[in-house]
Structure 1
């Protein structure tokens, strides 16, 4: 497992003093208000100030004190070190830990490996790259009766329900 957890993506520079507008990739945007440091592009930054508004987080970072410097970070992931990440309840996982997991059905059929997770509201949608390089997507819903083991990098789903909800790319 990676030591860094992605918690957001920088979408733009905000204002002239180097503030960053961040799209949160966490279920609680208010967590940003507790950040002390973040990792962006492999570099550590001290969080001087953070605020939230309209579902977005705004960060002022040490060393990023003007718009031009902030614009260089647009498109980068905002990460925290795993030891500083929030503690998750059981049966809840960081997206970073799900990426790369093998998806198998309960009959043993290998579907492929999780390559991306879309957060779309009602249910996360998992994108899986199959061995033949095709893509299959499925909503991660309760009916799949999924068993997730991020340490073993395996997700086992009910085959019948998976076949009902999965969408294969041509």
Structure 2
């Protein structure tokens, strides 16, 4: 498990006083109001930044950091990730997981056969869809519904699936 989770990506500057537009990568954009600090991942280093103000505009979050007061100082960080420590993350409900924790898990069938690896999670609105690469290298899409995804065990690093009739021929 990773120690940090991405909550946004700096997309551009906003104004001349060092504000930035952030594309949120979190389900709840209002969580930015509660954050006091974020970690800026520059690629070479990670810097902890203090959030001075939060505004919302369309689908973006506008952040002002105490450390930056000039557009020229923050401009070089366009496209960089904003992270939080895992202890700052929202509390998950039972049977909820962070996507980053699911990627790379081994997938087994309810019959005990190893099937492949979970490579991505697509968020469709109705329900998530797990992208699973089979042992043969073929990609399959499994809806994240109780009839298909029977168990996610982060301790054993496995996902147990039930293959619905017609989904594939084994």
Is TM more than 0.5 here? Answer: yes
Which of 49, 53, 58 aligns to 1:49? It is 53
Long gaps (5+) in structure 2? none
Q: Give the corresponding residue for 2:97.
A: 93
The yes-or-no answer on 1:109 pairing with 2:113 is yes
Q: Distance in 2 between matches of 1:69 and 1:79?
A: 19
Say if 2:149 and 2:159, in contact at 8 Å, map to a contact too: no
Q: Structure 1 residues 133 and 54 mapped into 2: Cα distance closer, same or farther (>3 Å)?
A: same
Q: Which runs of 5+ in 1 are unaligned?
A: none
- Cα RMSD of the aligned pairs, angstroms, is 2.4
Other-structure match for 1:80: 84
Match of 2:70 in 1: 66
Question: Are residue 31 (structure 1) and residue 4 (structure 2) matched?
Answer: no
Runs of 4+ in structure 1 off by over 6 angstroms are none
Q: Larger radius of gyration, structure 1 or 2?
A: 2
Structure 1 SS opposite 2:32: helix
Once the two structures are TM-superposed, the CA of residue 140 in structure 1 deviates from its matched residue by 2.0
**Farther-moved stretch of structure 1 (67-76 vs 36-45):** 67-76
- Corresponding position of 2:122: 118
1:139 aligns with 2:151: no
Structure 2 counterpart SS, 1:155: strand
- Offset at 1:130? 4.1
CA distance in 1, matches of 2:75, 2:119: 28
Which position in structure 2 is the counterpart of 1:160? Answer: 164
C-alpha distance 94-131 of structure 1, shift in aligned 2 (>3 A): same
Find the aligned partners of 1:73 and 1:127 in 2 and give their Cα distance: 31
Larger fraction in helix: 1
Q: Map Cα deviations across residues 110-153 of structure 1 (whole Å, 9 max, x no partner).
A: 33323332323222233334445554333323431431112222
Number of equivalences: 164
Distance 1:133 1:55, change over 3 A: same
Does the residue aligned with 2:164 lie in a helix, a strand or coil?
A: helix
TM-score (norm 1): 0.81
